[in-house]
Structure 1
């Protein structure tokens, strides 16, 4: 048997430590100062990284009450059907389709149509003004770009009523759009982070055409529904209870079952509802637009976009997921990212799901949606889009979006065959 190599360090002759006279005094002092400075610098860097991680974590779960108006309005021309708005060309404003401009801190809202002109030399785009819902666009100089198109259900030419959902945090407003010849399945529209009920209005005509009443909900901390004591988003861990309340309302009003429509974080909320709710058997299907199916992936992407070092970003995730991080994040309870990782839990998803996601989504990368569909093709159908960025698949190609959802729902909602082939 070969001898084992010794790991004991080699011994050296004992040497008397040098005296102060052996080393010049200035060098000794500089050495001490250098060691102290390095320690101070290391401590400062660590403190700075911790502060940045805490800031990043708080931003993730803190609702934005005033969203930045970062698009520049250069001119408004014409009147009536000839009215046009000229905007600074940006990654968003160059994409074709119909969108909205919100201005005057959200008090103003207009709908703009498809791209009329793009001038790379002048870095401008021109779009027609389709509808002016509120505010005076001619006085606006900056606006927020949005995939929202309609202001209220009235803009769809459909009857609707304002209803109230009894959440455990208080009463929350919702819109109920009835359907002619309703067939028993309701659509519940769940908006994303930083959005409102308006986000789901794009899907109402599709649901309405299939005989599905639509319930467009608000949920805790979204600015319409009551806030929780901590005033923080739960990224789906808490908001699903509000969707459960919406399901209970629908069932009490005559629904046989429901389909949950979710955008972005609304997708995470819908997935969590189908997984955790006592009423999950009443969820017939999920229609998810640019959904968050893995928060760890999204947070890593957001850290990269904001030039936050990966290690700092991971520490921010740790703060969100640990009880000891609550003092820094403001959360009442830590978040369970494993429970919301539907890539890892793909085979556990037993609700028929349609995912619509743009391959160039700049906010929620498409990768986890692709992987979810790959791992669970029995339950998950994926429709990929291009040039739609985040949650704007309908805006870029409304006909394709409608056809995909209508076809999938027609199949999912078809009468179920009983054993022996009887319906």
Structure 2
């Protein structure tokens, strides 16, 4: 009987441990995944210069946005120009692109700045050895860009970019997007930086730029470091990292590895600590804290991380280290952010004298620029000018 009871107890223990491990792996996959795609319904419209969408928390927002369609095409839309009371739909103007014939759904995104807006032909983007996109700063007060549109798409580290004669005085900005976002999403901050005359690189996190979404990868920090090194090879004497959401944690981790050159950080809707952000999300969702810590431990193990679909360990400790003491940092965040609440950023302000927090109008996560581009651009310009 005792032996039988021992076998049963062992079996139950194994089942519990196995179940806990499976649950931990599921939580870990949620932490590092690109997230579920939220589509908006495209409704019939009588005009090719407008698009009618079902109304939800995003589609009725003020400002300019991007629409991504299943065939890979993109459309830029402007403000709401009409609301239909009978079906609750909203009509928005089409600024660039064309809604595909017969389209019935779209992904409503904040990626509303295109390479063309930066004076660059998307088919002829200059790239660096790490795969980063390169955007030169504007060279005159009329907003004309350098002749980068004619640049070769191959690696571009030629001596023409000598920082000694450049108006940006050797400063480059390296931009990194967040989980589930497109590298195109960073072009909003690239545009703000470009208008100050400062050139930019956009980090390639490992997926093709034509792919719109990517989850976390064990090599993400290394890729940001590689983009920083590319900027140095292009003549940068100082680099400012610019991270969106999860890209903020990546940028800070990379900055710690290149302290001799990184001299500032711009962080938008920032994840300042992976652990704190996940803990907060778990609390809101009612997920037991022990399961969260187990999932983060799993991601930090090269062997166990495979259960979450990651080859190699995600550097959880490095992505949870927070702000860098003494590093001049600008954070742009909105009180409307429910994904990474602004309270998490406000909480570190008293102990971070080198941090400047700019809060813009209420906007969902990552849409600060879209709701108030003037305030966003002014914050970036003023902060860069002060540097």
TM-score w.r.t. length of structure 2: 0.80
Larger RCO, structures 1/2 (Cα 8 Å, 6+ apart):
2
Q: Which residue of 2 aligns with 1:128?
A: 93
Task: Give the Cα–Cα distance (whole angstroms) in 2 for the partners of residues 258 and 54 of structure 1.
Answer: 37
Deviation at residue 121 of structure 1 after TM alignment: 6.1
Deviations 1:373-413 (A, max 9, x none): 22112x1000112421111100000001111111111001x
Q: Given that residues 132 and 227 in structure 2 are in contact (C-alpha distance below 8 angstroms), is that contact kept between their aligned partners in structure 1?
A: no
Task: Give the Cα–Cα distance (whole angstroms) in 2 for the partners of residues 120 and 363 of structure 1.
Answer: 30
Q: Which residue of 2 aligns with 1:400?
A: 375
Q: Of 52, 72, 78, which aligns to 2:47?
A: 78
SS in structure 2 at match of 1:139:
coil
Q: Which residue of 2 aligns with 1:162?
A: 125
Task: Give the Cα–Cα distance (whole angstroms) in 2 for the partners of residues 147 and 285 of structure 1.
Answer: 25
Where do residues 33-112 of structure 1 align in structure 2 (5 Å cutoff)?
47-62=18-33, 68=37, 70-79=39-48, 83-105=49-71, 107-112=72-77
Q: Of 342, 346, 351, which aligns to 1:375?
A: 351
Aligned pair count? 355
Q: Which residue of 1 aligns with 2:245?
A: 264
Q: CA RMSD in A?
A: 3.3
Q: Given that residues 331 and 356 in structure 2 are in contact (C-alpha distance below 8 angstroms), is that contact kept between their aligned partners in structure 1?
A: yes
Deviations 1:301-325 (A, max 9, x none): 4445666444433332232234552
SS in structure 2 at match of 1:115:
strand
Q: Given that residues 111 and 182 in structure 2 are in contact (C-alpha distance below 8 angstroms), is that contact kept between their aligned partners in structure 1?
A: no
Task: Give the Cα–Cα distance (whole angstroms) in 2 for the partners of residues 356 and 76 of structure 1.
Answer: 36
1:175 aligns with 2:161: no
SS in structure 2 at match of 1:373:
coil
Task: Give the Cα–Cα distance (whole angstroms) in 2 for the partners of residues 225 and 122 of structure 1.
Answer: 34
- In structure 1, stretches of 5+ residues that fail to align are 1-31, 413-423
* CA distance 1:297–1:117, change in 2 (3 Å): farther
Task: Give the Cα–Cα distance (whole angstroms) in 2 for the partners of residues 327 and 310 of structure 1.
Answer: 22
Q: Given that residues 76 and 137 in structure 1 are in contact (C-alpha distance below 8 angstroms), is that contact kept between their aligned partners in structure 2?
A: no
SS in structure 1 at match of 2:80:
coil
Q: Of 174, 186, 192, which aligns to 2:178?
A: 192
Larger C-alpha radius of gyration, 1 or 2?
A: 1
Task: Give the Cα–Cα distance (whole angstroms) in 2 for the partners of residues 289 and 232 of structure 1.
Answer: 18
Deviation at residue 140 of structure 1 after TM alignment: 0.9
Deviation at residue 93 of structure 1 after TM alignment: 1.5
* CA distance 1:302–1:370, change in 2 (3 Å): same
* CA distance 1:49–1:119, change in 2 (3 Å): farther
1:254 aligns with 2:228: no
Q: Given that residues 225 and 257 in structure 2 are in contact (C-alpha distance below 8 angstroms), is that contact kept between their aligned partners in structure 1?
A: no
Q: Which residue of 2 aligns with 1:6?
A: none
Q: Given that residues 66 and 108 in structure 2 are in contact (C-alpha distance below 8 angstroms), is that contact kept between their aligned partners in structure 1?
A: yes
Q: Which residue of 1 aligns with 2:316?
A: 337
Q: Given that residues 113 and 130 in structure 1 are in contact (C-alpha distance below 8 angstroms), is that contact kept between their aligned partners in structure 2?
A: yes
1:233 aligns with 2:213: no
1:273 aligns with 2:236: no
Deviation at residue 118 of structure 1 after TM alignment: 3.9
